[in-house]
Chains A and B, each alone.
Chain A
Amino acid sequence: MGKNGASRTELTERHVVGAALPRIDGYAKVTGAAIFADDIALPRMLFGKLLRSPHAHARILSIDYANALRLPGVVAIAVGSDLPVRYGILPSTQDETVFAIDKVRYIGEPVAGIVAEDELTAQRAAALVEVRYDALPSVMSIEDALLDVGESGEKIHPESRKQSNVHKDVHLTFGDIEAGFAGADRIFEDEYFFEGNTHAALEEHSAVASCGADGKLTLWSSTQTPHYLHRVTAAVLEMPASRIRIIAPPVGGGFGGKTEPVAHELAAAYFARKTGRPVKFTLTREEVFYTHRGRHPVRIHLQTGITSDGSIAACRLQTWLDGGAYGSYGVATTYYTGALLPVTYKMGAYAFDGCRVYTNKPPCGPKRGHGTTQPRYAFESQLDSIATALGLDAGAYRTAIAIDPYSRTVNHLRVTSCGMREALSAVTERTDYGEKHGKLAPGRGIGLATSAYLCGAGLPIYWNPMPHSGAVVKVDRGGGVTVFCGTSDCGQGSQNMLAVIVAETLGVEVLDVSVCAGDTDLTPVDLGSYSSRVTFMAGNAARNAAHEVRERIAAAAGAELGIAPERCAFASGRVFDRKQPDRALSFVDAARAAEARFGTLAGVGSYTPPADLHGDFKGSGVGPSPAYSYSACVAEVNVDFETGEVRVERIVLAHDCGRALNPTIVEGQIEGSAYMGMGEALMEESAFRDDLHRIPNLLDYKTPTILDTPRIEAIVIETEELEGPYGAKEAGEGPLNPVIPAIANAVADAIGARIYATPITPERVLQALDGTTGPLRLRAPVAARTA
């Protein structure tokens, strides 16, 4: 059994893993006691405001802020040339500056920063900054961005070597794709469009920075990735990282929207250093829509060749991603639109072409399901069409072609534990899917879909041979245990996860463990809360650190009890003889004995993914993960044929999370995924009017309310993931993906027609019923159609 694996003995002695205990930060969150970034107020604090571009694409001719600086209460103003260092989350796309230099690329791009004694003064001063622009033609669609800009045209990023606004073009082929299609009995070919949408986390981004008398800078920020913010702050401020401390307070929802450094954080740090006073920037909701980094709009062309028994002989996927104005995680997103498609089903050959373009919109980036959500919607939609064409039950068909545990995908990814078949049967049996699909009354429909997701990326964002996560566990003489780890809790429960794993390893109660996280001065590096990596990677690091302590305590306690250390068991605050459980020491006494014998009691642990996860080709770094989670979803809908309204009446969602460290939190993630997926399927869209985000507020940008949300039945499927901490895999992102195609498939079942785009708005439903993709028909409804 490897160091990352859970040993058999421990499994039988679990005392907190698997228990539905309240989360340690739960009371603070629900009573309002938790201190979020915007709750921080420091003496003499200044407030910042960003002046944003009113043009989608324009040259900056001049900026004059003399009048703004004269406004009483204004303390400092900065523009692009004050912070010229380019940065970006990926080493290959260092294409942003804190404030735009020379040109602006989307409406809402920061052009200047103002700090003042209060927020309203900063806001008034922003209106006094005079910026002269020379407007350039804007590019607002994938189709326009693919065009050659010609001799006189100006690309959004002129330094790009391409003639168009293409950002990244990737081409991958696995197996003999031509032979695969040649050997296929039927070929299915469809085109889909997945509309962009945003995270809509309740907490608007906030950052507070303060420079101490010693010249050291502290930056509190609602970030999912304190380590990356640390690196970028040091680079942009041209300051040694050793003089910068990043603290991630509890984050009020992230969903991927807070995974890369953005302007207001760096501006806060800059102004704090410049003015010598603490500085806070809190974004408005509208600014959050401009900061974005949300779901890419993706056009998808999907071609699948099937043999007579239904096996997938070949699959060819082309994606076009509307990236918005900057790179963000876009190169990774592009690869992700192709990389995880083969993780669910066996296929003979696979070809993937991805293309990301720049447009003059707020930059897109990662949102829950990062790049895999859009093609999954297309693929699961097409699979339903295939099953129907072959006359097969869509559930049985998916089970028949499902990938096997402990296998390799067609694109060389290593699959370990896999509960996909279990998830499929759980949701289809619970809902009588087989008896209902295709057989319900008009207007009523049932849909099924599956998906798979990463438990963290196999490779880091910037190349380095160091661990992806580190932890320190320290034991106090009173029996209190503290775990130090660089994670950021964005609401997913990472604090609780660390406490549970350490408590389990040392046999203490969860509340005996204190968690110190997300503080670059105090905690070892964890790469951050993205790609569903924290439970798997930080969990393993914490478990390894706790194990080091455990071994020392076992040695000391074994000596006290007169038994071999291996015979020591740890549970319920006691260290005892596994063969004679009444021979025991309290944990406190055992720990004191260990400290007396070995010195200060602390352990370190780290986690690095195995090296053999990926194939050897360009782009092979995106997609590999030490393990994959699997989900299946059934949705039941009721469609109003006259209004086109879709009412989701039930969502049953099963998720293979390995071992559930805390089943309540896993169920919460499943329920949240169902809710968010439903919003993406039916109403959420990043809509533009001319060059402008049409609805940058949460009244007009529709997310479902509780009255729109059906009964959600969360089913936890447990598998034994040998490399996961106590057998655990991820639960934060994977369950979202199948929800959207399940609803799309249910709508298709209900109305007898397929809608090839999201969101499935009432208008699109009526177009499908009309048999048109153009404007709505205004004729009176056909009576016979009305259910």
Chain B
Amino acid sequence: MLRLPAFDFQPARSLEHALALLAEHGNDALLVAGGTDLYANMKLGLFTPRVVIGLRSIAALRRISFDPEQGLRIGALCSLDSVARDPAVALHYPALARAATMVGTPEIRNMGTIGGNLCLETRCNYYNQSAEWRKALGYCLKRDGDICRVAVHSPTCKAINASDTAPVMQAYDAAISLVGPLGERSVAVRDFYRNDGAHASVRRSDEILTEIALPVPASGARSSYRKLRLRNAFDFPLLGVAVAVATDAAGTCTQARLLLNAVGSAPIEVESAGQILLGSHLAAATLADAAEEVFRAGKPLENANASLLYRKRMLRVLARRALDEVASPLR
């Protein structure tokens, strides 16, 4: 069977301890929370850390709290399952509950954490393969090689952001807390990700993602997340569409954000589609126009388990379904 390479496991007793371990081992160390992503990638030889720092026993990072004035705060170590089942999440941030429910399998949601899902390593058909497979093909930009196998002329890696929760967090305008040797900083999710598959976030290697803060939803806010996959569990998104809108008492759209995942190395916001919705009454024709704009703007590549033409065509369908859902008077 595929063996996990040897490494030195250092369980952190506290956040401070984790930071100290990170400072001590520098670039030889990687962080692990649930391990559902990291260990699988290590088995494939994608990472070969000498030290792995375990975060699981830091109880302080495993809390969810909701305050009607402040909004939601989720500790990075909350399991995806606990996020999906949290009553406040379900009530105020239903698209997050749905996205968390759609990750992997029950086992993965029990082990995997929200922080880990936001830091999910970008994925690609040419990258998430064994060392032998990658050698047979010739290595790629993201690991051991010098060209992108998906887009041979691209100077950057085209691996995709396959986190189900990331586009939803950005649609809710969430912010991420990062703690490092210089203290804590807060980064909006929209600034957290970079559209470069090999360097996909601004988190520095000496920083730890500790918390995610979501603002109080506006009154009349509604949201949705739609995921395209080939089976109903145990599948990364071929495409994801997150939508958050708010309307005033007259039914006029006052906020609109549409985010895509699995079409870039970061969640991709389609601002032009949001512009179409803003000020409208979310009538069917407007929704169709916005979905068409999502279709126009989204640019999948040939690097997932369905053709780019199929994923391109599904942009319109998923966007329309997500928009129909938030525009439905029942929600």
Contacts and interface: CB of A to CB of B under 8 A. Distances in A.
A409 to B, nearest CB: 39
B106 to A, nearest CB: 10
Given A107-B136, A204-B1, A775 B232 contact: no
Interface string B293-316: 001000000000111011011101
Given A702-B231, A705-B233, A776 B307 contact: yes
Given A775-B309, A778-B313, A696 B133 contact: yes
B3 A123 contact: yes
A643 B228 contact: yes
A286 B133 contact: yes
Interface string A92-122: 0000000000000001000000000001100
A549 to B, nearest CB: 44
A704 B231 contact: yes
B125 A700 contact: yes
A696 B132 CA distance: 12
Contacts, number: 92
A704 to B, nearest CB: 6
A782 interface: no
Given A204-B1, A695-B305, A705 B310 contact: no
Nearest to A118: B3
B317 interface: yes
A643 to B, nearest CB: 6
Interface in B123-155: 125, 128-133, 135-137
B249 interface: no
B6 interface: yes
B3 A776 contact: no
A365 B135 CA distance: 27
A303 B1 CA distance: 46
Contact of B317 (A285, A643, A683, A697): A643
B87 interface: no
A666 interface: no
A766 interface: yes
Given A695-B305, A700-B125, A54 B3 contact: no
A259 B191 CA distance: 55
B306 A763 contact: yes
Nearest to A38: B1
B132 A52 contact: yes
Interface string A660-683: 000000000000000000000001
A696 B236 CA distance: 16
Contacts of B129: 696-697
A780 B136 contact: no
Contact of B231 (A643, A683, A776): A683
A59 to B, nearest CB: 17
A642 interface: yes
A694 interface: yes
B297 to A, nearest CB: 14
A699 interface: yes
Nearest to B318: A643
Interface in B91-129: 105, 125, 128-129
B285 interface: no
B1 A284 contact: yes
B325 interface: no
B57 to A, nearest CB: 27
B1 A643 contact: no
B230 interface: yes
Contact of A707 (B233, B309, B310, B313): B233
Contact of B314 (A123, A643, A694): A643
A654 interface: no
Contacts of B305: 695, 700, 702
A705 B136 contact: no
B137 A642 contact: no
Given A204-B1, A694-B125, A776-B309, A707 B232 contact: yes
Contact of A285 (B2, B132, B236, B295): B2
Given A120-B5, A762-B306, A778 B312 contact: yes
Interface string A690-713: 111011110110101111100000
A282 interface: yes
Given A699-B234, A708-B231, A776-B309, A692 B137 contact: yes
Contacts of A700: 125, 128, 305
B173 interface: no
A776 B309 CA distance: 6
A120 B230 CA distance: 34
Interface string A30-68: 000000001000000000000010110000000000000
Contacts of A708: 231-233
B271 interface: no
Nearest to B43: A284
A158 interface: no
Contacts of B3: 119-120, 123
A285 B131 CA distance: 14
Contacts of B131: 127
B317 A705 contact: no
Contact of B310 (A54, A690, A691, A776): A776
A671 B60 CA distance: 47
A781 interface: yes
A205 to B, nearest CB: 11
Interface string B221-243: 00000001011111110000000
Most buried by A among B3, B307, B316: B3
A642 B319 CA distance: 12
A692 B129 CA distance: 11
Most buried by A among B105, B135, B231, B306: B231
A705 B232 contact: yes
A781 B291 CA distance: 12
B234 A705 contact: yes
A263 to B, nearest CB: 15
Nearest to B321: A642
A781 B312 CA distance: 13
A423 to B, nearest CB: 29
A766 B310 contact: yes
B133 A692 contact: yes
Given A38-B1, A286-B133, A120 B6 contact: yes
B20 to A, nearest CB: 30
A702 B130 CA distance: 18
Contacts of B2: 284-286
A414 B290 CA distance: 65
A147 B1 CA distance: 39
A54 B136 contact: yes
B77 to A, nearest CB: 24
Contacts of A702: 230-231, 235, 305
Contacts of B234: 699, 705
Interface in A595-627: none
A501 B141 CA distance: 61
Contacts of B236: 699
Interface string A767-787: 000000001111011000000
A707 B231 contact: yes
B136 A776 contact: no
Contacts of B314: 643
Contacts of B316: 780
A626 B208 CA distance: 68
Nearest to A282: B1
Interface of A: 38, 52, 54-55, 107, 119-120, 123, 127, 204, 282-286, 642-644, 683, 689-692, 694-697, 699-700, 702, 704-708, 761-763, 766, 775-778, 780-781
Given A705-B233, A761-B230, A781-B317, 12 more contacts: A119-B3, A286-B130, A286-B132, A705-B231, A708-B231, A763-B307, A763-B309, A763-B310, A775-B309, A776-B310, A780-B292, A780-B316
11 contacts: A54-B136, A120-B5, A283-B1, A284-B130, A683-B231, A696-B133, A761-B306, A762-B306, A766-B310, A775-B309, A778-B313
Shortest 10 CB-CB distances between A and B: which pairs?
A54-B136, A707-B232, A776-B309, A705-B233, A284-B2, A763-B310, A642-B317, A707-B233, A708-B231, A702-B230
